[in-house]
Structure 1
């Protein structure tokens, strides 16, 4: 049964976006020539209107940018790491000072509600703080040597220019996860933002340039933005002078990037698809579970890589939880993401909407019951794509359930026990994030053990989304295996050298090898 739309809870008054975008870009210091004189049209998902025309890079432009980046790297790698951290600290201060404007621009360009737009900028500030501390903690190891009079150790060195390819759904935060770490590690930056969200990238670059000016001696070309489509991405990915490519996006994109980088023996940090699940056990606090599920599944209009897409509910609590969840789905506030009280803004574009409808059609053909999923009409936004989130009750994990549809669709499956639940959760190609709602210690520990979740993130009594920057972020299987942000993710932006120093007057060889010569 399709949920009835509560029209009174849908905001129906949208103002023009283009004028507000112009004002924000001006306040953030973006050169008008970058977004007024170009050929690529940028549309806001809030109304569907064109808000800018950005200048695009060519493949030749990419080559020149890489050359500048290499020169910048050669200068930047000689700067002491704590000094490099000072630049990142200044960037964090610029982000603090312009949090409201940049967060608002994220809302207008990506369609996120106000708190999520601001939260994304806060995430940038947080990773800058983390990286500043990291700049004094790029530790190596001292390793026991089997040879007397010898010391063995490892040292870490800057690796070179880092290419960063980001997706529309986190247009600035994902860049910062990579950029803040790469900068303190001694690397230069080349950023290809999504062609759907280039304006926020131009704004961040303007703030970086302010921080660099305050820093005083940052090399020219240390951070560059390359706006464009597939041609730009291919040129960046294929350039052997860029030893590391960090790419966030679909599994399809990751297969292309990973293969091209591997052909030239480069290094890839891949953050790809996530088909994330939550298990609800009989002992779960259902009030807590309902809140955690609702945000994880509906937040950002289901356009997070960590969005909850599969809900695996024990049969003992299914009939109590799922009707309550369906009620929440039917009453959630949809509309202008700038409006107070709105919880769900628009999908990014028509393609996302059509992908959602195609998936729902496949689910219905498989016998599923679909609650919601219909397009919501919002006055003044006829070219935008607002939808009611879809709750899909389905009997088995058919093929459409195993595929990640980047939209607010939550498939609900009934199970008998934890072993079956974990097998269902792990039975998809993706392995990003996962969660379990339980008050049973054994269930929680089993879920986090080697026989439990096979994902890079495994949470207990919270949903799969909302990761903090202190932990390494990333997943397994078709998610790509990359790690960004906290823990020891910084090592991906450096090269390791193992060093052995002989401070004796003899030359014993390892493994007892004897090789004496006379000279």
Structure 2
């Protein structure tokens, strides 16, 4: 049965003004999973109308009432984990463990947002004048444009809206064309059922060919006061440029080219386990995935042998099967792109340790390569698939240089039994996040999440998320009448 969904505007489900729709495909079977409304610029304006109208009441709502919505939504999301897993499998090819992880973390992001609603905001300042009081007060911005990607649709769909809403803003969300339901409409369903008032969160879905026009229209609307984007670096550059053109602040969480560094004192059993997870979870379609494994010379041969064997044994195929680890990529085009990166590297001299070859539909085999050089596209390109490169180093200086040899700077993992050594290396890595004695994929809702360099700017998580989507005002109260020189 094909699912049909409309736009969500002002609390109502409405078709696109043009009547157009677009197909949402199951990446594993290639079948049409859903048909969703294909918004045009006029629908974006309607959604901003609704968000703008709802803003005063939502911003003025008592904090404890706002907090209750987020807590209820978190519990509802937990209760709908089976529904969410089925949705993610059909819409994005997600395996069940990945879907359940999405549910759990997304629910906790909502709980952290609830905590942020009633957390102290602002400071009392020293004043120059005797008896005066200065206040630094944080206030919501207004309407926020939120863009959510497909790869972790519940985590990133919730993250796109949770902090802006908790700060007292209203939101127009534009989910990825690859996951319009999981990354947008399903999230809105949960929040509506939890009591979110009409118009506070609006969702516009669109056809792929209209994505640039929809994004530009949304950002350009003068009532939209901030932009919240998670996605690829190339698209993030365009979004950031549009936001800058209209003098609007943006939080951009973009791509990564992340390393997992295995130091000479690492527990190899643990290192292989950690690297396997960091590289192959969600078939490598995570911004934090470990594209590069940098291994100390003294343990490289043994580590590589064990890791390649582990990769070769990972079950692949149907995301609905409980044992599947490597499900399909988001589309057959995505799988062909990854295969082309591997083929290009092999043609230029790289060695395939396991995997490689042509994908089966959207399913690309888990692949490990060595001998990838700086002249190959794979050295710098974000793979976003179940592929990694193993390289070696003789000392910390070389490991740091290899890890930093990328325009990105999102995350890094350092596997070591010596935390002091790990910290010394971590301090030299140019990334927004480093995990010592862990791999590169980790996310906690209260921690500052984001990258540096071409991995974006701004931070999600905890108080940093609230600060990203609020404005600081300076207010003074005079304790007595002032005297003026004229």
TM-score normalized with structure 1 length: 0.87
Question: In structure 1, what is the equivalent of residue 189 of structure 2?
Answer: 206
Equivalent position to 1:180, from 162, 179, 192: 162
How far 1:31 sits from its partner (Å)? 7.0
In 2, Cα distance between the equivalents of 1:153 and 1:394?
59
Q: Describe how 1:93-492 pairs up with structure 2 within 5 A.
A: 93-200=75-182, 201-212=184-195, 218=197, 220-228=198-206, 229-370=211-352, 371-375=354-358, 377=360, 384-394=361-371, 396-400=373-377, 401-449=379-427, 452-492=428-468
In 1, Cα distance between the equivalents of 2:312 and 2:14?
43
Equivalent position to 2:71, from 84, 89, 106: 89
How far 1:474 sits from its partner (Å)? 0.8
The answer on whether the counterparts of 1:43 and 1:52 sit within 8 Å (CA) in structure 2 is yes
Instruction: Decide whether aligned partners of structure 1 residues 236 and 439 sit closer, same or farther in structure 2, where only a CA change above 3 A counts.
Output: same
Which has the larger Rg? 1
In 1, Cα distance between the equivalents of 2:185 and 2:423?
45
Which region of structure 1 is more displaced relative to structure 2, 134-143 or 491-500? 134-143
Question: In structure 2, what is the equivalent of residue 380 of structure 1?
Answer: none
Q: Describe how 1:58-69 pairs up with structure 2 within 5 A.
A: 58-69=40-51
In 2, Cα distance between the equivalents of 1:447 and 1:147?
49
Which region of structure 1 is more displaced relative to structure 2, 420-429 or 176-185? 176-185
The answer on whether the counterparts of 2:345 and 2:376 sit within 8 Å (CA) in structure 1 is no
Which region of structure 1 is more displaced relative to structure 2, 390-399 or 354-363? 390-399
Question: In structure 1, what is the equivalent of residue 469 of structure 2?
Answer: 493
Deviations 1:206-234 (A, max 9, x none): 2222222xx6xx2x311111001322122
How far 1:77 sits from its partner (Å)? 1.2
How far 1:398 sits from its partner (Å)? 3.8
How far 1:320 sits from its partner (Å)? 0.9
In 1, Cα distance between the equivalents of 2:166 and 2:465?
13
How far 1:505 sits from its partner (Å)? 4.5
User: Is it true that 1:46 corresponds to 2:28 in the alignment?
Assistant: yes
How far 1:430 sits from its partner (Å)? 0.4
Q: Provide the secondary structure at the position in 1 that maps to 2:103.
A: helix
Instruction: Decide whether aligned partners of structure 1 residues 504 and 31 sit closer, same or farther in structure 2, where only a CA change above 3 A counts.
Output: closer
Q: Provide the secondary structure at the position in 2 that maps to 1:274.
A: coil
How far 1:33 sits from its partner (Å)? 7.5
In 2, Cα distance between the equivalents of 1:94 and 1:423?
46
Segments of structure 1 that go 5 or more residues without pairing to the other structure are 1-18, 378-383, 508-514
The answer on whether the counterparts of 1:104 and 1:118 sit within 8 Å (CA) in structure 2 is no
How far 1:93 sits from its partner (Å)? 2.7
How far 1:163 sits from its partner (Å)? 1.0
Q: Provide the secondary structure at the position in 1 that maps to 2:434.
A: strand
Deviations 1:267-298 (A, max 9, x none): 11101111110111100111111111001101
Segments of structure 2 that go 5 or more residues without pairing to the other structure are 7-11
TM-score normalized with structure 2 length: 0.92
Q: Provide the secondary structure at the position in 1 that maps to 2:344.
A: helix
The answer on whether the counterparts of 1:45 and 1:109 sit within 8 Å (CA) in structure 2 is yes
The answer on whether the counterparts of 1:41 and 1:54 sit within 8 Å (CA) in structure 2 is yes
How far 1:24 sits from its partner (Å)? 12
Instruction: Decide whether aligned partners of structure 1 residues 32 and 73 sit closer, same or farther in structure 2, where only a CA change above 3 A counts.
Output: closer
How far 1:103 sits from its partner (Å)? 2.4
In 1, Cα distance between the equivalents of 2:332 and 2:419?
45
Q: Tell me how large the CA RMSD over aligned residues is.
A: 2.2
